[in-house]
Amino acid sequence: MVVKIGVNALAVGMYVVDTGLSWMEHPYLYSRQGRIDSEKILQALRKEGYAEAFIDTQKSGLDDDAARRLSGGTLFTEAFTAHARPSAASGKPVPMEQELPAAKKVYEDSLAFARDFIHKAYLEKQVDVTRSQAFVDDVITSVARNRDALTGLCKLRVYDEYTYTHSINVTVLATAFGQFLGLAEAELRPLGLAALFHDIGKANIPREVLNKPGRLDEREFQVIKRHPLESYSLLKDKEALKFQVLPAIVEHHEKYDGSGYPRGIGGEDISMFARIVSLADVYDALTSERVYKKGMPASQALGVMYGMREKDFHPTMVERFIKCLGVYPVGSFVRLSDRRHGLVWSSNAQAPLAPTVKTAFDDAMRPIPVELVDLSLCDKTSAGPPLSIAEAVDPRLFHIDMTAVMN
Ligand SMILES: [Fe+2]
């Protein structure tokens, strides 16, 4: 598990996690990945003014009590245990296996569309928004039938260039979250469009700054910070985007504590759509593979985002976002308490810690007959302690092809 702790509580032997969050936006976050192996390092990073760090509790050898004490509150997973465990029937009109083929088609078509409109925007500084509505509508329809299919695919499809997948993933995640929050279809459309076009202004940012693999310096960061307003200037004449879409795009880097950009507004002043897009944006960025960084496992990314509540995000919104996706989002690879391994197959909003898992490997990662295990029902059927998720596991460590398990 990942928890955020104050730098004064860091000790020799603890294992710091690199979240991949921009150091310019989080200057007080110490994030050089690895074990703290000397008192000298601690003294140096205190002197440099770092205030917080995310640590991996298991690699740091900490039990839950110690992690709770150090993080000064409820652990990420505990915040979502207080819910009743009703039956697994979560009201999804169509089961996962039925929606999956349609969702794959929607994802592939949307990705092809994104390649097209983003390519044109970079080359011609023009955005054709006329075809976008139909793609957003397809996403809304698939998500209404089954939220898990498209959100799971976002994390499992073969990697394409980040700029294209990010635009579609944020659209899917924002739409799914909006639907979870109970927004009407008429509201999901502008929300989806805001998500689709949120970063299009990057087309007006010099390539050498945008694609710089290392850390940005202060001047380059100031250039990057222009992109929400560049998105606005590319889209401001589009009548269909005027009211709810453009404000959300402009505000997608504003933060709850007022430390964001471009205007530094905070709290309730940030529009609801912008708050949704920003959660989807950060989640996808944390979990995505980039040239210069590995993607975080989804549950770890949600742990980091939980640690960012009240600073970056509205606390209630981040909690709802985690409930929407589940503590272990669909597509996560997990080890169960009986030591079997499998893929999280469908979420359970009433019991975010107890999704349905498709078990496919034994303790030693040997293939076993596939079984769908609904963890929310396991306490009623098993004689021993209820079956539960022991931990999320990184499938890359075992060279497991998750798409094969998904099919
Ligand atoms: Fe952005």
Q: Ligand 1 centroid vs 246 CA: distance in angstroms?
A: 13
Lowest-confidence segment of 208-212, 296-300, 313-317, 388-392 by average pLDDT: 208-212
Residue 394, pLDDT > 50, answer yes
Residue 226 phi/psi, 5-degree rounding, is -75, -15
CA of 160 to the centre of ligand 1 (A): 19
What are the extents of the domains in the chain?
2-75, 96-325, 333-406
pLDDT at 161: 85
Query: How close is the Cα of 252 to the center of ligand 1, in Å?
Result: 6
Cα-based distances in Å from 265 to 198, 207, 243, 247: 18, 28, 19, 12
Checking if the pLDDT of 381 tops 90, the result is no
**Rounded distance from Cα 198 to ligand 1 centre (Å):** 6
Q: Which CATH number fits domain 96-325: 3.40.30.10, 3.20.20.140, 3.90.1150.10, 1.10.3210.10?
A: 1.10.3210.10
Has residue 4 got a pLDDT over 50?
A: yes
pLDDT exceeds cutoff 80 at 91 = no
Question: From ligand 1's centre to the CA of 22, what distance in Å?
Answer: 12
Q: Tell me, in angstroms, the distance from the centre of ligand 1 to residue 57's CA.
A: 31
Model pTM score: 0.90
What is the 289 CA–ligand 1 centroid distance (Å)? Answer: 17
Which H or E element spans position 335?
Answer: strand 333-336
pLDDT at res. 157: 62
pLDDT at 400: 73
Render pLDDT for 241-278 as a digit per residue (tens, 0 to 9). Answer: 888 899 999 999 999 999 999 999 999 999 999 999 99
pLDDT at 397: 80
* Predicted confidence (pLDDT) at residue 109 exceeds the cutoff of 80: yes
Q: Does the pLDDT at position 168 exceed 60?
A: yes
Identify the pLDDT of residue 399.
75
Pairing state of beta strands 29-30 and 52-56? parallel
Check residue 378 and give its pLDDT.
Answer: 79
Q: Is the pLDDT of residue 158 over 70?
A: no
Among 350, 356, 321, residue whose Cα is nearest residue 83: 350
Q: Which of 117, 111, 112 is nearest to 234 (CA)?
A: 117
Mean pLDDT over 172-193 rounds to 95
Q: What is the pLDDT of residues 34-45, one digit of tens each?
A: 999 999 999 998
Q: Select from 313, 315, 324 the least CA-distant residue to 347.
A: 324
pLDDT of amino acid 88: 43
> What is the average per-residue pLDDT within 367-390?
82
CB of 391 within 8 A of CB of 364? no
Instruction: Measure 350 CA to ligand 1 centroid, in angstroms.
Output: 32
